[in-house]
Amino acid sequence: MPSFANSTLAPIVLLVLSNVFMTFAWYGHLRFKDQSLFIVILASWGIALLEYCFAVPANRLGSSVYSVAQLKTIQEIITLVVFAGFSALYLKEPLGWNQAVGFALIAAGAFFIFRDKV
C-alpha cells in the first residue's frame, strides 16, 4: 500500500491547505480596512509563510505523480474553488452567473490538460 506522501492525493490536500492560507493572506484583510496597511502587510506575510509550508511540499510531492502542467492546473482549480467559497462565506460577496461561466470555461481547459495525448 503506497504511503500518503507518495499518493496522488497528498499534493491535492496540501494545495487545498496552501490555498486556504494564501486566500486569507491576500484577501482576509479586506474585512479590516480600518487597520493600517503596514499591519495588514505584516499579518499577510505571516499567513503567507504558512502557505509556503504547504505549497512547497505539495509541488515537490506532486511533481513525482503529475506533470508540471497538470500540477499547475490542479492548483488553479483549487484556487478558484477556495476563492469562491471565501468570497461568499467570509467576504459576503456571492458569485454571479458570469463568474460561474468563467469558472466552467477554466474547468473545460483543465479537461484538456488532463486528457491523454492523442
Q: Which residues contact 100 (CB under 8 A, 6 or more apart)?
A: none
Alpha carbons 112 and 14: distance in angstroms, whole number: 23
Q: Could you read off the pLDDT of 53-102 as tens digits, one per residue?
A: 999 999 999 999 999 989 988 998 899 899 999 999 999 988 899 988 98
Residue reference for cell 506522501:
5
Per-residue confidence at 51, pLDDT binned at 50, 70, 90? very high
Q: What are phi and psi of 36, to 5 degrees?
A: -65, 150
Alpha carbons 86 and 103: distance in angstroms, whole number: 15
Evaluate if residue 1 carries a pLDDT over 70.
Answer: no
Task: Quote the cell numbers at residue 68.
Answer: 508540471
Per-residue confidence at 2, pLDDT binned at 50, 70, 90? low
Least confident piece of the model among 38-42, 75-79, 100-104, 112-116: 112-116
Tell me the average pLDDT of the chain.
Answer: 90
Per-residue confidence at 118, pLDDT binned at 50, 70, 90? very low
The model carries a pTM of 0.82
| Average pLDDT value for residue range 38-67 | 95
Closest CA to 106 of 85, 66, 79: 79
Per-residue confidence at 35, pLDDT binned at 50, 70, 90? very high
Which 3-state string (H, E, C) describes 51-109? HHHHHHHHHHHHCCCCCHHHHHHHHHHHHHHHHHHHHHHCCCCCCCHHHHHHHHHHHHH
Domain count, the chain: 1
Domain that holds residue 99: 4-114
Residues 80, 82, 85, 89, Cα dihedral to 10°: -130
